[in-house]
Amino acid sequence: AQTVTQSQPEMSVQEAETVTLSCTYDTSESDYYLFWYKQPPSRQMILVIRQEAYKQQNATENRFSVNFQKAAKSFSLKISDSQLGDAAMYFCAYRDSNYQLIWGAGTKLIIKP
Amino acid sequence: DVKVTQSSRYLVKRTGEKVFLECVQDMDHENMFWYRQDPGLGLRLIYFSYDVKMKEKGDIPEGYSVSREKKERFSLILESASTNQTSMYLCASSLYPTATTPHNEQFFGPGTRLTVL
């Protein structure tokens, strides 16, 4: 069975600096999707970025980018120029062949002003 | 924009009560999901539905049931609430994967924080 591991329960970063959140997963499938979701305090979960496993190029969305290492089964999220509004729980998720999401435990990101 | 709404943000119930959590989406999505979210455990899938009147068990269905009588509405039912069902409950919806949207991103409601006393 697939598993997703986020080894950092909490991370903090100074405003305007860069932070990287880690995610590893375990699977025997070759084609799949990976996602990073953000859950701000008392607000809805929203999609930050997604990566298709068959694409070599790392996905980017403005200040958010991923470092996808398929052989190492690693999918880290880099946030550049951190802003106060980036403070949230961040969840890494793997979409299996049944189209269901398997979630990591989450990383709480704190932004220091 | 996709909108997923949940009937209550906060709910307090007594042990043994029957509890209904309602979820409505307005984007004609085929798939709907119920998760519970607990600290340190991430999101765990309770039930999901691919179509009206269709339901499938997720990873933790015990103590829960669901109903999907209309495409836009997916209800989670706690037949006899217990204290270990105190949690945050999240509803989500998505399109069925197609050639143009193979990734079927899930859209979430705001969540219902349920406390069972």
Cβ separation B58–A100 shorter than 8 A = yes
Q: What is the mean pLDDT of chain A?
A: 94
- Which residues of A, range 66-105, sit inside 8 Å of B by Cβ? 91, 95, 99-101, 103-105
Give the C-alpha separation, B90 to A93, whole Å.
Answer: 15
- A41: nearest Cα among A99, A110, A92, A94: A110
Q: Is the pLDDT of residue B2 over 80?
A: no
pLDDT at A43 exceeding the cut of 90: no
Distance from CA of B78 to the nearest CA of A (A): 22
Per-residue pLDDT of B25-82, as tens digits, reads: 998 999 999 999 999 899 999 999 999 988 999 999 999 999 999 999 999 999 999 9
For B87, the token pair is 């949690």
Instruction: Write the CB contacts of A43 (distance below 8 Å, at least 6 apart in sequence).
Output: B110
B111-B65-B4 Cα angle (round to 5): 30
Residue of A nearest to B98 (CA): A99
> Above 70 in pLDDT, residue A6?
yes
Cβ contact B42:A106 at 8 Å: yes
* Among the partner residues B45, B97, B109, nearest to A44 by beta-carbon distance: B109
In this predicted structure, the answer to whether residue A56 has a pLDDT above a threshold of 90 is no
**According to the model, what pLDDT value does residue A22 have?**
98
pLDDT score for A100: 85
Q: Which residue of chain B comes nearest to A107, CA vs CA?
A: B40
- Tell me the residue length of chain A: 113
A65-92 pLDDT per residue, tens: 999 999 999 999 999 999 999 999 999 9
